[in-house]
Amino acid sequence: MSNARYLAPNLVTFAALLLGVTSIVLAVRGDYVNAAWMILWATVADRLDGLVARALKATSEFGVQMDSFGDFVNFGLAPAFLLYFALSRCPTLPFQDGGGLIALYAACVAWLLGATFRLARFNVLIEETPDHRIFFGIPTTLAAAMLCSWFLVILKYASPDNPLRPPPGSFTEWRLFGELSVGPGVWPWFLAAMVLFAGLMVSNVRMRKFGALGGKLLTGILYVFALSNIAVVAARILPDYIVLFATSWTLLFTVLGFIDPRMRGDGAPPLFPVGRANDR
């Protein structure tokens, strides 16, 4: 029974994995709004399994590997499936064949490779990184949250001529961005965003981890915003609020990674860290 406590965080990880698989199924079926929400719910579950593991003192190597595999499905495969099916199936967008389809496929592959590389590298750098208070590269969770929340915002504010305009009733809450109207010309930029995020995931951009921010006031304020963000994700409302939080968070801590001398003292880790050998 001494090992029973390890079951709880792994069950949370498994539940998050089911959300990612459900997102893929929904994307294939053409339910893009719910597919995106499944990924955002998975970001919340991804935070929860770590909290449960630390609370129960149930961290383990198995849990680390299972969490990494879940992240690959939830934040690598699922967003790529969502964007590929949403854009390639729309007849009035230039992604059904020819160069547009090749560009879309290349962007999805870049995203998938970036997430895979990021997760594999992170597992090795857990042991090799001298400062465990920072991330090297943007976490896959944050990158997926930004991509999917922006996707939902564009659907919410889609203009009448936007071919991915969702069914009526998909977004019934108030509009933080007022009368903003987003046309079909925004979708090609999503391909560039996927490639950009893929590069940031595998980069050596330094980001301070949430629990190592320093300063009780700043930490308290950020905790309030983080909890409110979790609440709106759980309630499946206000993607415009989610995107403001995720984008502001990324910009703030990416800039701090460049200008804060405390985060630039140690050399960057190698692009291909060696780590331990492991025969499979």
Q: For the chain, how are helix, strand and coil distributed in percent, rounded to 5?
A: 70, 5, 30
Q: Both tokens of residue 9? A: 């965080």
CB 89 within 8 A of CB 30: yes
CA count, 13 A, side-chain hemisphere, 208: 23
With 60 as the cut, is the pLDDT of residue 196 above it? Answer: yes
Which residues, including other chains, have CB under 8 Å from residue 103's CB and lie 6 or more apart? 95, 191
pLDDT of res. 254: 73
CB 20 within 8 A of CB 74: yes
Chain-centre distance for alpha carbon 274: 26
pLDDT per position as a tens digit, 94-138: 999 999 999 999 999 999 999 999 988 877 766 555 556 677 788
pLDDT of res. 278: 46
Q: Where are the beta strands (DSSP E) in 186-249?
A: 206-208
Least confident of 165-169, 193-197, 250-254: 250-254
Determine the Cα–Cα distance for residues 128 and 177; give it in Å rounded to an integer.
44
With 50 as the cut, is the pLDDT of residue 180 above it? Answer: yes
Chain-centre distance for alpha carbon 56: 26
CA distances from 33 to 16, 166, 168 (A): 18, 7, 12
Question: In this predicted model, which residue has the larger pLDDT, 64 or 160?
Answer: 160
Determine the Cα–Cα distance for residues 156 and 15; give it in Å rounded to an integer.
27
| Sign of the C-alpha dihedral computed for residues 169, 174, 179 and 184 taken in this order | negative
CB 118 within 8 A of CB 140: yes
The secondary structure of residue 206, as a DSSP letter, is: E
Determine the Cα–Cα distance for residues 62 and 175; give it in Å rounded to an integer.
43
Least confident of 169-173, 206-210, 250-254: 206-210
Determine the Cα–Cα distance for residues 153 and 108; give it in Å rounded to an integer.
20
Number of CB atoms found within 10 A of residue 3's CB: 8
